[in-house]
Structure 1
Amino acid sequence: MSQALQKLIVGLTYPPALSLCLLVLAVGLLLLRYRRSAAAVFAAAVAWSALLSVPTASDWLRGRLEQQYPLVDEAALPYADAIVVLGGGVRYGWLDRPDVRPEDLQNSRLAAGARAWLAGRAPVVILSGGGENAGEGSDDSEARMMATAIERLGVPPSALLLEERSRNTRDNARYTAAIARTRQAHRILLVTSAIHMPRAIEQFQGEGIDVVAVPVPERARRVSWKDRWFPSRSALWRSGRAIKEFGGLLMIRIQN
């Protein structure tokens, strides 16, 4: 599949993008005098984004992925040869806190990796994340930024290995597996967000790695009726992430 087509498909996972395409199709059908078909497509376009903008619907959709790998306390994890933390953004607002601790950051992949290392579950932590200049030895790779942050959480540089070439989950698995093989690391603790875990597990297992899931929650607080049922941009974005993960899983299974 071409890179341009991949980008188009990923773009359509954001509900308003697909709704816009359906609206354009509805206009075309109306111009061709297929009024009933145009009305049906128009209704589908509006309903698609309207439904997925409701936080409760978004949480239900994401839950189908997140529930596949339950959360595990780091102290209960088995021993492994390495901990692998996948990149997922480089905005670490907690770096400005004076006394930040891994236990304080329940929704952080880096904190989960740090807790597992501090619990003695594995001797090394592999940080996997490239960037726009992945593979070119850039100083601003995601893995290097992750290293700076996780050191703040108590993991020393001597325990870190950086994988800086990856641009996507498939690359994460391929290049991390290569590092693991050179170190004779057969079992890894894989740290990524709970919603991303099913796709990441399939990619890493496809590289012949024995994987133990260490999912990190991305839960949103739903206190009031409005929080649960009032449509929001955040819910749309969260729905889009879930659809992207379902699409990625489908593509893996088709290719296999």
Structure 2
Amino acid sequence: MDTIVFWFTKLAWMLLSPDSLFLLCLVGLWLMIRWGWTRAARRLLMALIVVLAVVALLPVHEWMFHPLERRFPAPTSLPESVDGIILLGGAEEALQANAWGGPEVNQAAERYLAFLMLARTYPDAKLVFTGGSHRLVDQALKEADVAVRLLTQQGLDTGRLVVEREARNTAENVRRTRELFRPAAGEKWVLVTSAYHMPRAAGSFCRAGWPVIAYPVDHRSVPGRMLRLDLDLIRHAAGATTAAREWIGLASYYLGGKTEALLPAPCVDAPSARDAGT
């Protein structure tokens, strides 16, 4: 089932993400002009111009991120002790790391800051990183290899760290990590990932019978400033593509039975706490 979900999600991302749809529209526009359908071509061109103008001027990507990010509020206090801390892969740039030799990361690097802080706060907690390669090719380049390199450089005692390096997606993150630890009922585990990804991630853990305390980071929306002019087509379009892919992933997981709801909610009474030191 994990393999079916993986390939179905990949296919949906390839066909339905905004960048793919835009390319398909350009191909359609060229075909319309070639076949002499000038009226339809003009209408499609006008529609593309309007969409691009809206995306360029308004934070449409934040409108897409915000419903995901507010689903699991950032915590403000955590339990006195936890059994384990889980860091999901996704912040790593394995291709660049392999080419340049450093622990290259992307915009989601805040996941590592939170993970390191929590590791210091809970010195007796189990630590786990889970992440392999989500690529269709280059499966030998693993997120886990970048993670170990980065965490070692930052002074983490990697003797505490359990590394799962074969998971290709969130569903496999859950299944493979659960097989490693087989958590008992009542154990408290903290899950660290990007806020927009938390509903699908935490929802998958809940569906697997492993309720986790969500620790979302890397927020992409700005509440209170969602209606503003902000001319930045490239950044807005890239953000919209990321958000759209996450919504597609949510739909895929729900249809595939990996989550209980299209937009999962917390399945554990997690403390509303951000500063684990208080």
TM-score range, shorter chain: 0.7 to 0.9
TM-score normalized by the length of structure 1: 0.75
State the 1:86 CA deviation.
0.6
1:18 maps to 21
Deviates more, 1:146-155 or 1:237-246: 146-155
Shift of 1:20: 2.0
Counterpart AA for 1:11: M
- Does residue 1:9 correspond to 2:12, yes or no? yes
Q: Which residue of 2 aligns with 1:238?
A: 239
2:128 corresponds to: 126
User: Deviations for 1:8-28, whole angstroms, at most 9, x for unmatched residues?
Assistant: 421345423212212333454
Identity percentage of aligned residues:
26
60-69 or 30-39, larger mean C-alpha shift: 30-39
**Among 64, 83, 86, which residue is 2:85 paired with?**
83
In the alignment, which residue of structure 2 is the partner of 1:99? none
Amino acid at match of 1:202: G
SS in 1 for 2:214: strand
Check conservation: 1:114, 1:154, Cα contact below 8 A: no
Q: CA RMSD in A?
A: 3.5
- Give the corresponding residue for 1:111: 113
Matched, 1:59 2:50: no
| Superposition TM-score, scaled by structure 2 size | 0.70
Aligned 1:165-180 pairs, distance under 5 A: 165-180=166-181
Check whether the contact 1:69–1:215 (CA below 8 A) recurs between aligned residues.
yes
Aligned-pair distance for 1:72? Answer: 2.1
Q: Is the 8 A contact 1:190 1:213 kept in 2?
A: yes
Which structure's relative contact order is higher, taking Cα pairs within 8 Å and 6+ residues apart?
2
Once the 2 structures are TM-superposed, how far is the Cα of residue 42 of structure 1 from its aligned partner? 3.7
Report the Cα offset of residue 55 of structure 1: 5.4
Separation in 1, partners of 2:108, 2:36 = 55
How many Å apart are 1:36 and its aligned residue?
5.6
Distance 1:41 1:122 in 2: 60
Q: Is the 8 A contact 1:193 1:217 kept in 2?
A: yes
Q: Which amino acid counterpart does residue 247 of structure 1 have in structure 2?
A: I
Residue 157 of structure 1 pairs with residue 131 of structure 2:
no
User: In 1, distance between residues paired with 2:30 and 2:150?
Assistant: 50
Indicate if the aligned counterparts of 1:107 and 1:218 stay in contact, CA closer than 8 A: no
- Listed one character per residue, the Cα deviations across residues 138-168 of structure 1 (whole Å, up to 9, x for unaligned) are 6x53223212322444431221111111111
> Separation in 1 of the partners of 2:27 and 2:135?
36
Q: CA separation in 1, counterparts of 2:56 and 2:26?
A: 17
Farther-moved stretch of structure 1 (140-149 vs 108-117): 140-149
Structure 1 residue runs of 5 or longer lacking an equivalent are 94-104, 222-226
Matches of 1:12 and 1:53, distance apart in 2: 22
Secondary structure in structure 2 of the residue aligned to 1:108: helix
Q: Measure the CA separation in 1 of the matches of 2:5 and 2:89.
A: 24
**Aligned in 2, Cα 1:34/1:121: closer, same or farther, shift over 3 Å?**
farther
Report SS of the residue matched to 1:130: coil
Tell me how far 1:228 sits from its aligned partner: 4.8
Deviation at 1:169, TM superposition (A): 1.3
Q: What CA distance in whole angstroms lies between the structure 2 residues aligned with 1:17 and 1:88?
A: 21
Sort the Cα spacing of 1:2 and 1:29 in 2 relative to 1 into closer, same or farther, 3 A: farther
For 1:87, the aligned partner's letter is: G
